[in-house]
Amino acid sequence: MSAACDLLIYVQHLLGIGHFRRAALIAREAAAQGLQVTVATGGHPVPDADFGAARVVQLEPPIKTKDEAFSALVLGDGSLLDDAVKQARSEQLLALFAAERPKVLLTEMFPFGRRQMRFELVPLLEAARAAPWRPQIVSSVRDILTTLKQPGKIAWIVETAQRFYDRILVHGDPRLIPFERTFPQVAALGDRIRYTGYVVDSRIPERVAGAGGEILISTGGGAVAEPLVRAVIDAYPTSPYRDRTWRVLIGYSLAEERFQALCALAPEGLLIERSRSDFLTLLSRAALSISQAGYNTSLEVLAAGVPAVVVPFAAGGESEQTLRARLLAESGRLVLAEEAGLSGARLNDAMARAFALSQTAPRERALQLGAAPVSLDGAVETARQLAALADRSK
């Protein structure tokens, strides 16, 4: 019988890569703190992913969402998942669990999201509950949930959490965004909930006053990049800031033919590239950041202290990015530009406001709430709590 690993993490990204990146940061830090970590990932491979010393296992076949509305799960060629694929993936996951014998099992976002994956996660959780070594079962969840619209979904989440989970790690700070803001049934989960602070990559270089001068436009995984990139292309020719280099980074989730079509539209002086491994360095040196408002990018912009415009993704009824962007805009740390009706003129106006804000607001590397800063050490604290749970299971 093989020795137990300390931590088995399950993560499934379907559209963007925010969940994947947050899980990678947690896995990397947990391994750095001495835990033996295995990660089961079910989405399409992400170039330059860094899990540190953690072992990564790719579930086959990788799957994604059909569209921005998450209407169905599909394979890489766009074909719908059938029962045979679901069964095969579930068997892979159960075999990995049996082989690793983890002391702690962590599911990223589930049951608060990724309900589409219950065909493989519920059998995994049932196996964990019945295992002779009975691992601690943990949910890893961001600060804001997408609006829950389906009747009965909240009740299902509560029942599933009560049935299976020992701990729910909320990656946020309740002074900024309490979990009950988007999940009012927090009381039903009792003392399972623990806040960790925000999970932010600690490798962001110190910002040097007056450094750089680029306008850096980042689109995360790139799956929903086109509206923002087209607004940037529209803004550039008439922008008062076109004497600077404008650099657009688009992730690999945007199909190559669509990426090339955007490149063909770009005027001279506007660079469009695929995502780069030195993004954090580019961010720390930028004169201005323009991005969507996902969890990872928003917090990296905050930690870097760079003037910023955020354009929250809001298609398909998504509300998470808009709420985060509004709260951060109210704090005076960035400028919000709504995705609906975004034009070059509106984007140039938002850029002007962001530059003006940077002249009047202090640019600390953390957001102050009263006397104390918002915690951006969530990866370290999450790893610490997971290590304690692994020790408890001895």
What is the mean pLDDT, run by run of 10 residues, along the chain of 394 residues? 83 90 96 97 90 96 83 88 95 98 97 94 98 97 81 90 98 91 93 95 75 85 90 96 95 92 95 94 93 91 90 82 89 89 95 87 54 82 97 72
Query: What is the pTM assigned to this prediction?
Result: 0.89
| pLDDT, position 302 | 85
Q: Which residues contact 342 (CB under 8 A, 6 or more apart)?
A: 227, 228, 231, 311
The C-alpha atoms of residue 325 and residue 301 are separated, in whole angstroms, by 12
Coil, strand, or helix at residue 238? helix
| pLDDT, position 350 | 97
Strand-pairing partners, residue 171, are 142
| pLDDT, position 1 | 45
User: Which residue, 306, 311, 347, 345, is CA-closest to 219?
Assistant: 311
What DSSP character marks residue 370?
T
What is the three-state SS of 275-339? CCCCHHHHHHHCCEEEECCCHHHHHHHHHHCCCEEECCCCHHHCCHHHHHHHHHHHCCCCEECCC
Q: Exposed (0-12), middle (13-18) or buried (19+): which is 150, by Cβ within 10 Å?
A: exposed
